[in-house]
Amino acid sequence: MNVVFMGSPAFAVPVLHALMSNKYDIAAVYTQPDKKGGRGQKLLACPVKEFAVSHGLTVVQPETLRNPDEIAKLKEFKPGLIIVAAYGQILPEAVLNIPQHGCLNVHPSLLPKYRGPSPVAAAILNGDTFAGVTIMLTEKKVDSGPIISQEKMVINDEDTTGTLTERLFQLGAEVLIKTLPDWIAGRIIPEKQDEKLASYTRMTVKEDGKLDWSLPAVDIWRRIRAYQPWPGCFTFYKGTRLIIAKALPLEMFSDGEVGEVLKLADGGATMIVVRTGQGLLELLNVQLEGKRSMTINEFVAGHKDFIGSIL
């Protein structure tokens, strides 16, 4: 049976690799068109395309799948199954109706919770204990299709959106491979999602990374993790953007102005903290705009007036 894979970013590569390793016949790989980037604004291929090309797979990069010519081209591959993993385009109904066994989507949330474009960030922002992956049958409405299989994963305190997304798609690849034989054989009855439990996420924008020091320290800590690697959480020090790359919330309180940088002694060690609306946030790694990322101790050594400043 021919399989068409649709995906674009690096974290989708393990899903494609798992299909190949388990001898599924990849008739074509659909990815987003090359985009300009880097120095010189050269055309850059997405990671899925690079992987596919390196393995001799046929790559197709349509601007849109709503074009009748592109739909006709897809039909020529005679896919019995389409697997979607962070492709970046909404599939029209004409595409969904092509494969005999449907279009299966590897989605990084425990649907119907966190439908939409940023489910992993939402799970971290909300302080969830678990995230998860859902294999669903794609329908016209975004992320609303029946559930075929689902599995949970613990969210670690160190997880960022980047690390958790990578782990979730690795899990998704494993769950997909376990699920496909029974799905193709007709032994799985898809479970309709409960619309009453549905929640939606929105697209992350650059301004989401701007820190509000009046929030509780634990909320700021979650934001720092949720918005890494993009857009990154930032504040301003002496008029220059300062990225807070890593931090920890402390159950300690200190009266005074929010956003003030303090130096605390903890036994033989010292901590650099920021006063928040509730509790203190210990800074661990920071990056001044245009400079390299460094530990907070390295940064303070070169910026003595950082202690006592108001961010």
- φ, ψ dihedrals at 230, nearest 5°: -135, 140
Per-residue pLDDT of 103-152, as tens digits, reads 999 999 999 999 999 999 999 999 999 999 999 999 988 899 999 999 99
Shared fold status for 2-197 and 206-306? no
What is the predicted pLDDT for the residue at 251? 86
CA dist 64 and 167 (Å) reads 29
* Residue 161, CA distances (Å) to 104, 157, 158, 168 in order: 23, 12, 10, 10
Residue range 2-197, CATH number: 3.40.50.170
Q: Which amino acid is at 90?
A: I
Average pLDDT estimate for 167-192: 98
Tokens of 56: 């001799």
pLDDT per residue over 195-243, tens digit each? Answer: 999 999 999 999 999 999 999 999 999 999 999 999 999 999 999 999 9
3-state DSSP assignment of residue 191: strand
Q: What are the tens digits of pLDDT across the range 22-31?
A: 999 999 999 9
Class of domain 206-306: alpha beta
pLDDT at res. 42: 83
Q: Where residue 268 falls among pLDDT bands split at 50, 70, 90? A: confident
* Segment 65-97, tens digit of pLDDT: 999 999 999 999 999 999 999 999 999 999 999
| Domain locations in the chain as residue ranges | 2-197, 206-306
pTM score over 0.75: yes
Tokens of 57: 């797979």
Tokens at 305, concatenated:
């007036």
One-letter identity of residue 156? N
* Main-chain phi, psi angles of 254, to 5 degrees: -150, 125
The structure tokens listed for 120 are 């992993």
